[in-house]
Structure 1
């Protein structure tokens, strides 16, 4: 598990390590001497007479500077607080900013960092505050006490709050109305060719070919392709080739493909494995002339623009094709992406994280006003805090009274403003809610405290507005109605998959694989480079003989570079992950 990471591997940079050791000598707890003024309190103040400005070191944030707009005003009105975001992503990525601030002894007043290595080293270095004295006042966090205790179980205090937590069972899917993965196609063209049955992944290819033939050019006059690929996200393997693997219940962990139920673990270079199957699928597709020839050179943004223009007919994920092409205008015309099920598929789904995800949110030990910091963090776990903070990240509805309210039937429903702001391009917020547009003013924290499809205890409905009956009733359109009619009346993808036993939920266990040691890391970097390069060559091989030859060469070269050694590490991690999943099910049901 992540908590067993060796202290020797805490930081890469020598200067950062020195900074940690220096801080560590001062003791773990609140190195600056900052302390809660209301120790053992049972409630926080309801008003704050003065103002404060907190620096928020946020490893997930994609913006830097002072939080603007309606969310900034809301935090200021409630806590007299201005949030100044410090973002490694904006600063060029990597660990440089993190290491620099750790060495200086002050990461931030509030921090969002990873579970495991980062959390452990910050505790050891005295950079996180133990909030045990005010835990009794954190009434909203108290709903998730089991997750808080689990996160901090091997610590000498309470140093972090888990994120992405849920009251749902870990065997329940964490996604909302759509899974993360799935074979999504241009449903209008699928309809045009007569809704053919698709027994397997391989049987999808002639269907896609017929769709491409039905509409050989897009509205912009450019040629359509059923499948279009990109290289941006390649890592241990060709990322695009991993996606259809998930349609059969597998997900990656290093060089291993692990099935959601723990029934199978494959090396990605297994001859009879799912990874080779998908590479062959790409090869066969290219032989049919339905793969975009720009695939080897374009990036994700270029592909997305093509999808917006209607030039691409297949989407690996619901959120890709739908966000690009499913505009209100297109859907009103019956056009857009919907799932076209493979008869034998069992789509991988990430289970709800009963004890939290891969990041924590915590209070820095140098904070000037720890009481205010603790009160603010507790608010992020309240119904209002979840609805507002997670509006951009997990589909939560935003502020009640602005984007949604309770209707005469006692059900949550989007307001006219909410429909414009959330379903349209954007909308200017009313002056009493702040300045700027709704999307400009959304939370910059980019961290989800509670899952969007968790139940709001104040309404009895999910935080995710797309799961509301009122949303589904008022957003029905010719596209969704036609899809629903063919899917036996299902109103969402997730409902269809669950009703037809086509979902493979991997219990949410918050497992974090240990960092590679230096030797494994070196071997992995060599091997994955060869795997990615050869995978692309195989997808675009001239004939089957070349495809087979490239595969044999890849296996031999990878083995020579240490593939089997790295695979052994990943296989051990995959089985540890499965053990963690079984443990969490035994604990939470």
Structure 2
């Protein structure tokens, strides 16, 4: 997910980060016959799914594949640019050939416009009349296609919530998560600012230099494969003070401030100084410059890292039932001056859309499949393990006394990370059968109209009552009795929500694109060098060189373009807050 820093909302709410799907191949002949009978579709079809968010490439397998076969007599062949390597080349090659895929999941804005203009998307207007589930979000559908002469795409991450409501559920997308058990061993020292974390993390590392298996522990472990306009690890820290990126601009959620990332006093440069200081203290993993996300995730699982930028990294990897019951786990650190950026619910949808390829052999069936993805059953089934959505009713959850509750298998699969799926549901491991689409059609925290409860099991009272553990109890006791991270931040006025305006920046011109690519390559290179500078004098010299070199490559021209977009974005946020806010 190299674009994670840009698309972290949908990436973070919808990413399958806990493991790749395994195995390829088609359905057995008996399965196909059964699917034909049950679905009402006589012919089995295999569709190519070009998916810019997918982390798996090949045939969808397991329990989700069985659901799709049974309902549509359809198999999904996932084409994933993230896995293929050079995703831009794959995209250009397939579009040049006139066939990107039968089902397409890519970005709004530039890619939507390109595909419509190139005639690579089907106008689904004739199918829309029967797409009752998608029609619940008609305003979002019309907004996505407002400049086109038909319906070429369907928005993702749509919601019925207020635009000023956080979209994340119990945990924000961003946050400073630390090994809470080790923090507690220090007596819960006060953390006034981000920088005050460093001596706390240092003491954790000194007291716990190795894991139980003898591997070295580091306070911070970085990776580079999600670097974009800047060093991704640096960008994450700016969100703790209410900023998010738009190109080379850091824009505050409430529109009160805009910064050039290269200003000497910007939050981005502050982040680089933070990592530089951490490295001087021996807290940064020396493998940070060469490892990828998968390697990093494995280190979190092993207990080799003490700080996580996101709940869906540290908690997802390390907060297993075993570790939690032993009193070990990641929780949000109480930085006193934090004001964490939160994405508001997107009433017009997120940053990706779903479309039907113009060469699809059975567009009507694909339209029916898309519509199902927006149904209560589809939203629950098309769930990644990190989205919080609950999986198929009967398998992972059931209604009991008028409330949804996890089944014993659901607890095993969703809380412990995996389980063997009964044959009647498709067999195999639960993790390997998770939907490879890796996109939320509807926000998991939205209300399921069939049950009156959120799709996300983490929002259920039954789950919250059953999943107390020593770590959560200790965190709550020391955080004023807070029952969730979002609850704590809201209670303490430490959450800054950017209204969900579904803003898409205009496409870079060829000139801006060229200048941006030149400048960002310099910014990323120098940022890493600054983190690992030998002393403060070298850090300052590298900063000066980065600023001068970037300016010489056209940085200021791109900055002006991005600054205008950032202010336009805020205008849209103000408008949507008035129309769909409090």
* TM-score above 0.5, yes or no: yes
SS in structure 2 opposite 1:508? coil
1-structure distance, mates of 2:572, 2:61: 40
For the residues of structure 1 that align with 2:122 and 2:525, how far apart are their CA atoms?
Answer: 46
- Of the three residues 274, 277, 295, the one matched with 1:284 is 277
Contact kept? 2:159, 2:349, Cα under 8 Å: yes
Partner SS for 2:87: coil
Q: Which residue of 1 aligns with 2:23?
A: none
Aligned-residue offset at 1:378: 1.1
- 5 Å-filtered alignment, 1:290-301, equals 290-301=283-294
CA distance in structure 2 between the partners assigned to 1:535 and 1:572 by the alignment: 25
Distance of aligned partners of 1:270 and 1:576 in 2 relative to their CA distance in 1, 3 Å threshold: same
Query: Please, which of 516, 520, 536 is the counterpart of residue 512 of structure 2?
Result: 520
Contact persistence 1:393–1:448 (CA under 8 A): no
Q: 1:413 maps to what in 2?
A: 405
Partner of 2:140: 147
Q: For the Cα contact (< 8 Å) 1:224–1:310, is it kept in 2?
A: yes
Q: Structure 1 residue aligned with 2:165, among 172, 195, 198?
A: 172
Partner of 1:56: 48
Q: 1:232 aligns with which of 225, 235, 244?
A: 225
> Which position in structure 1 is the counterpart of 2:557?
565
In the alignment, which residue of structure 2 is the partner of 1:580? 572
Tell me the alpha carbon deviations over residues 273-316 of structure 1, each in whole angstroms, 9 at most, x when there is no partner: 11122222222223333333333344433333333222221112
Deviation at 1:486, TM superposition (A): 0.9
- Identify unmatched segments of 5+ residues in structure 1: 1-45
The residue matched to 2:430 in structure 1 has which SS? coil
CA gap of 1:554–1:127, structure 2 versus 1, over 3 A, is: closer
Per-residue CA deviation, residues 308-339 of structure 1 (Å, 9 max, x unaligned), is: 22222111221221122212111111111111
How far off is 1:430 after superposition?
1.6
The residue aligned with 2:494 is: 502
Question: 1:211 offset after TM fit, Å?
Answer: 2.0
Give the match for residue 487 of structure 1.
479
* 1:480 Cα offset (Å): 0.9
- Cα RMSD after superposing both structures: 2.2
Q: Which stretch of the first structure deviates more once superposed, 106-115 or 313-322? A: 106-115
Give the Å deviation of 1:260.
0.7
Cα displacement (A) at 1:179: 1.1
CA contact (8 A) 1:147 1:165 kept: yes
- 1:358 Cα deviation from its structure 2 partner: 1.7
Deviation at residue 265 of structure 1 after TM alignment = 0.5
Partner of 1:449: 441
Whether 2:144 is the aligned partner of 1:131: answer no
Q: 2:155·2:354 contact (CA, 8 Å) conserved in 1?
A: yes
- Does 2:308 align with 1:307? no
Distance 1:159 1:475 in 2: 43
Change in Cα spacing, 1:289 to 1:443, as seen in structure 2 (3 Å) is closer
Q: Residues 529-544 of structure 1 correspond to what in structure 2 (within 5 A)?
A: 529-544=521-536
Cα separation, 1, equivalents of 2:306 and 2:80: 36
Matches within 5 A, 1:253-332: 253-332=246-325
- Scaled by the length of structure 2, what TM-score is found? 0.88
1:440 positional shift: 1.8
- TM-score (norm. length: structure 1): 0.87
Equivalent residue runs for 1:68-467 within 5 Å: 68-392=61-385, 394-408=387-401, 410-467=402-459
Specify the SS of the correspondent of 1:243: helix
* Runs of 5+ consecutive residues of structure 2 not aligned to the other structure: 1-37
Larger Rg: 1
CA distance in 2, matches of 1:498, 1:64: 40
Total equivalences in the alignment: 544
SS in 1 for 2:530: helix
SS of equivalent to 1:401: coil
